[in-house]
Structure 1
């Protein structure tokens, strides 16, 4: 008894569907393989940790009462998210996706703009999660007199948006097609 090679089966299915030797199913499988490379995922997560750390520090400073005044959690998240998105774009462009995309300032600015648009999806999901966790629940996490619940809730919200961002950034901003 022999087992079919899934890659050959995908190409056969594409040929039967009129896709030629390399049809849409095989192309989709190649893209998914490119997204699942351990090296790239690890780099993206590492960059995400740096961005999440920056955002968390900003949210904590703006919401905990440590500063002279406190900001609403959603306003603090907006400030932290913008700083984080810029940091993560720069790190991803120079490290995670350094071998993708074209050189030059115009191309860089184009990717930066596209990255912002793409991240709106993940950011929208994160804002919704933060809203639910801070506005629709009555949770407080007091540590030394400071309420750290908005900071913890923001960490949860960041995690929720990260998976969406990885796929969208890989496919749309840097147009990853090949596995490393």
Structure 2
């Protein structure tokens, strides 16, 4: 299969919908944690994003591992730990995209930080889905 065919296979079917559903929950959780850290800890949105992103990554990993990619996940603590590390590395790219969008929209254009965060998460969604499918859970295209 070509890369284009692999990507088309990834966006078809139930798995993409499950990943999107988990991503929406993760985005809401990320934004909630971001807001709590900014408002109650007084940390700037740019720095608070690191805390909220990791909290959301943990939540989304657990749900994706048990639901979205349950066929590929396999059991046991060691395989799960390896997938968790891969997921964090892969999602660093998505966090970099979200953080960049948050920084630009909030810092340069004055967009409310929570809205800028949601927009950034949306921009990084496609990158995360493809990278998570191929590298974290090692989905094989047929």
- The answer, yes or no, to whether TM exceeds 0.5 is yes
Distance 1:151 1:171 in 2: 30
For the residue of structure 2 that corresponds to 1:136, the secondary structure is helix
Q: Is the 8 A contact 1:126 1:160 kept in 2?
A: yes
Is the Cα contact below 8 Å between 1:130 and 1:153 reproduced in 2?
yes
Unaligned ranges ≥5, structure 2: none
| 1:57 alignment partner in structure 2 | 32
Trace 1:104-123 onto structure 2 (pairs within 5 A).
Answer: 104-123=76-95
Number of residue pairs matched?
142
1:19 corresponds in structure 2 to: none
**How far apart, CA to CA, are the structure 2 residues paired with 1:39 and 1:113?**
25
Gaps spanning 5+ residues in structure 1: where? 1-25, 140-148
Q: Deviations over 1:152-173 (max 9, x none)?
A: 1111111111110000000111
Question: 1:62 Cα shift?
Answer: 2.4
TM-score by length of 1: 0.73
Q: CA deviation at 1:138?
A: 3.1
> What secondary structure is seen at the aligned counterpart in 1 of 2:70?
coil
| RMSD value, Cα | 1.7
Alignment partner of 1:162 is 2:125: yes
SS of the residue corresponding to residue 79 of structure 1 reads helix
Q: Which runs of 4+ in 1 moved over 2 A?
A: 26-34
